[in-house]
Structure 1
Amino acid sequence: MSHERGQRYSAEVPLRWSDMDAYGHVNNVQFLRLLEDARVIGFQEWFGQDRSLLDEGVLVARHEIEYLAPLTFRHAPISVDMWATRIGGAAFDLAYEVRDPAGVGDELYARAETTLVLYSFTTSTPRRLADDERAILERHEGEPVPFRWRRR
């Protein structure tokens, strides 16, 4: 595995029949689950199975989603590209693009960003990023999410 800075990570996430709304599209709320599933897959690979940020404590502080195209149910998974956009002392932002997997199509369904805060369950307080955690996030650090409102 290469460790160049700025690597996007791509996770394939399956859709569920129950993700659909009355219009036959994946419900907007279900996009949050797709992002969470991608984070769980990605963090396990980024930080290892024996020690994951999820096991040590991480809380969602903010979500922002821009819906770009309707996503209908299909049996093939969708791809969620993920990268870090801001890395602070105890928090970081993750960016996402929800799209068709390579070779399936070129539709981009949504862009999103989540602010995550590292948290100690022992002390019930935020905790700082360790040097090795910061280094892993920096390998996946990239440009801010190109939300449409930022281009105005």
Structure 2
Amino acid sequence: MTQTLASATRPHLYSRPVRMSDLDSFNHVNNVRLLEMVQDAHMDLLYLQQGRPGQEIRPSIVYARHELDYTEPLVPEPEPVTIRTTVTSVRRASFHLISHITRGSRTYCTCVSTLVAYDLAERCLRRLDEGELGVLARYTAAP
């Protein structure tokens, strides 16, 4: 079961077990699954922790880029991994997140993501709104 370890703190922490479906033929977590883990943590940070009971979640932010560095193979163990995410910069219509997939003191993957605010109806970029900026401020790295 996926759960959030902490909210409204720096950084955002998200816990996730390694599942059988995550494994490839070498018995370690496939690189595509590592990116999915990062995206699960981002979904939790941006939408699920924002308290929208009874409201449909309609993401209005899209990924423009992911850059992943794989440090070592992630293999199944009873302890879940933690995805630690920090906002590193915010601009008018975009922001950057850095996420580390860890277990204990080991880091398995680091992902730098660029996300862009997007107007679905107009099919174009838009400015980040005050609510979004407030969420991002909670997880912004200290200067």
Cα deviation for residue 77 of structure 1 reads 2.1
> What is the match of residue 128 of structure 2?
129
Q: Specify whether residues 77 and 58 from structure 1 end up closer, same or farther in structure 2 by C-alpha distance, changes over 3 A only.
A: same
**Mapped partners of 1:132, 1:51: distance in 2:** 18
Q: Specify whether residues 33 and 2 from structure 1 end up closer, same or farther in structure 2 by C-alpha distance, changes over 3 A only.
A: closer
| Structure 2 gaps, min length 5 | 1-5
> What is the match of residue 118 of structure 2?
119
Counterpart of 1:29 (choices 3, 8, 32) is 32
**Mapped partners of 2:76, 2:26: distance in 1:** 11
Identity %: 29
**Which stretches of structure 1, 4 residues or more, deviate above 4 A after TM superposition?**
1-4
| Structure 1 gaps, min length 5 | 144-152
Give 1:134's aligned amino acid: L
Cα deviation for residue 50 of structure 1 reads 4.9
Structure with a larger share of its residues in strand: 2
Matches for 1:56-135 after TM superposition, within 5 Å: 56-100=59-103, 105-135=104-134
Give 1:17's aligned amino acid: M
Conserved? CA contact 2:18–2:76, under 8 Å: yes
Cα RMSD (Å) = 2.5
Conserved? CA contact 1:56–1:119, under 8 Å: no
TM-score w.r.t. length of structure 1: 0.79
> What is the match of residue 48 of structure 1?
51
Matches for 1:13-24 after TM superposition, within 5 Å: 13-24=16-27
**Mapped partners of 2:127, 2:53: distance in 1:** 20
